[in-house]
Amino acid sequence: MSRRNNYPKLHNAAWPGVVGKGSEGGEPFIDLDTMLDLTAGAEVEGIKFDGFDLFLYDPHISIDASEDDLKRLADKAASRNLNIGSVVAPVWPPTGGGAALCSGDGRRNFLRQVQKGCHIARRLREMGIRPYGVVRIDSACSPSDWLKDPIGNQRAIAETFDLACDIAEDAGEQLAAEGEICWGGMHSWIIMIDLLERVGRPETLGFQADMAHTLLYMLGYNAPEHRILPENFDWKDRAAFDEAYQTLTDALRPWTVDFHVAQNDATVHGSGSHDKTGKHCRVDDPNGKLDIVHCAGYWLREDGVPHQRYRHICWDGCMFPNQVMFEKQTWNNILAAMIQVRDAHGWRE
């Protein structure tokens, strides 16, 4: 056991208790304490999760949290032997933010949420409960809105992200743009890279790769002209899949600063106010298209060697049904897969 890899650290995401939940007719929220108890309760061969990543929004933790609120949050984590890693800033209009393609109030609201998120991230780091991680953002607008003026909107998003970088640098934080097909200006791998290059601040703004979301980049959802795999692709053709996956990851890996392990069945899914995006499946879903350990290696290795740039990796089970999330075996299965990823592509310190 002592010779097993112990990096990157293994995190669970707390936001599946919030995202897609709480809307009228939908499933209720799962409170933060319950999500942390489920995370802390998982164990495989004596190994447990090292921490959790966090959505900075009620009912888990307010973006306007006080110093006492943050101390209580740190105590919740420490009492369960968990660290806090990456945090998600609520930059969307329904959560108090604004669309990054706007040049007026939308931009100001977006940047205000980034500033608050970076402040919380910095304070948690100063408290010693957050040794690593980024502040996650996206464009907070839809592909359909972006398509009304692709050139002008891409320029506007890049300008907003550039201003967000100034805020992050002042706080000593790093931003990660989430690669997800439901965000305008980020809905294709080609367009995502264009946005990152336009901002041109790789030390401050990087890419967050989620295995469930990036698979849909390969299929051209919301950007058919940029699909890598052909229509009616035969998923049994693993050689063709690997070649396509290599193309995707070689392009995005140099920008990647935050990584989510996940499974996807090559379909889109949405619930609550969350738009259609990559469906997160159970780790052992028979319809899953990803060999999780094998595919994670494309993100975690460079020239065949673990690159060691991510101090932690996170499992994202966004929009799992509550019944699934309340099953202890769900988290043990996920943890087992995460351990396999680390054993195969991690390192020891």
pLDDT digits (tens, 9 = 90+) for 155-190: 999 999 999 999 999 999 999 999 999 999 999 999
CB 329 within 8 A of CB 284: no
The terminus-to-terminus CA distance of the chain in angstroms comes to 14
pLDDT at 270 over 80: no
Share of the chain above pLDDT 70, in %: 97
Q: How far apart are CA 100 and CA 103, in angstroms?
A: 8
Q: Which amino acid type is present at position 217?
A: Y
Listed in sequence order, the residues at least 6 apart from 274 whose beta carbon sits closer than 8 Å to its beta carbon are: 19, 20, 182, 318, 319
pLDDT computed for residue 280 by the predictor: 83
pLDDT at 239 over 60: yes
Task: Give which of 300, 177, 299, 311 is closest to 248, Cα–Cα.
Answer: 299
313-331 pLDDT, tens digit per residue, is 999 987 788 999 999 999 9
- Largest Cα–Cα distance in the chain? 56
pLDDT computed for residue 273 by the predictor: 45
The mean pLDDT value for 77-104 works out to 97
Question: What domains are there in the chain, each with its CATH number?
Answer: 9-345 (3.20.20.150)
In our burial notation (b when 16+ CB lie closer than 10 A, e otherwise), range 295-323 reads: bbbbbbbeeeebeebbebbbbbbbbbeee
pLDDT band (50, 70, 90) for residue 269: low
CB 184 within 8 A of CB 153: yes
